[in-house]
Chain A
Amino acid sequence: DIQMTQSPSLLSASVGDRVTLSCKASQNIYKYLNWYQQKLGEAPKLLIYYTNSLQTGIPSRFSGSGSGTDYTLTISSLQPEDVATYFCQQYNSWPLTFGSGTKLEIK
């Protein structure tokens, strides 16, 4: 199984900051990576698919990048409504696996 490691587990940043979340796969996943946002008490929401494709309706301050084993979700200017836990997920091979999440807080 492909292990997904997210870092940091907790991130505190100020409104307006540029924020970078990392996700590392245990083997090459050939950009087959999605990012989901989960706010407290809500179902996850798709943000980014196939490493860098922005889901319809998601603000352009969110972007994704990466290749091989290393991937990044960037928020260009952090907003209060971005407080959430962010999960990466690989679909290069079964079983589908998620990272353990990065909890993003406002400082």
Chain B
Amino acid sequence: EVQLVESGGGLVQPGRSLKLSCLASGFTFSNYGMNWIRQAPGKGLEWVASISSSSSYIYYADTVKGRFTISRDNAKNTLYLQMTSLRSEDTALYYCARSVYTTDYYYSDYWGQGVMVTVSS
């Protein structure tokens, strides 16, 4: 059974840093790209960052570029999101999601339950 379990969230002051983790199980982690997608309270979905299976390709939303870093450790089956210079608008539930991509497909077929990040003084 595919499982994605996020951790590392919490309450943090503006300008501080936080690192999220997503532990994957039930599939060969090194064969799949991964995404971070967030959802502010009561709002819609916002894509944050994506990383390919071997970390060769990395993409960021403009809203986090230069502040967030996505990475992965395939030996540990873990995806990370290092977040720095946090702002109140980064407050959200952060989901990690497995991505499937081919010439025509790019979709997130499994999602974790999310981890809450609250940025407030």
Contact = CB atoms under 8 A, between A and B. Distances in A.
Most buried by A among B111, B112, B113, B114: B111
A106 B95 CA distance: 28
A46 B37 CA distance: 14
A78 B107 CA distance: 25
A89 interface: yes
A63 interface: no
A45 B105 contact: no
A43 B114 contact: yes
Contact of B61 (A95, A99, A100): A95
**A interface, over-half SS:** loop
A87 B45 CA distance: 8
Nearest to B102: A50
Contacts of A100: 44
Interface residues of A, number: 24
Contacts of B113: 43
Given A34-B107, A44-B111, A55-B109, A95 B59 contact: yes
A49 interface: yes
Interface string A22-53: 00000000001010101000011110011001
Given A43-B113, A43-B114, A96-B50, A87 B44 contact: yes
A98 B44 contact: yes
A20 B108 CA distance: 23
A64 interface: no
A46 B95 contact: no
Contacts of A74: none
Interface string B79-121: 0000000000000000100000000111111011110000000
Interface of B: 35, 37, 44-47, 50, 59-62, 95, 104-109, 111-114
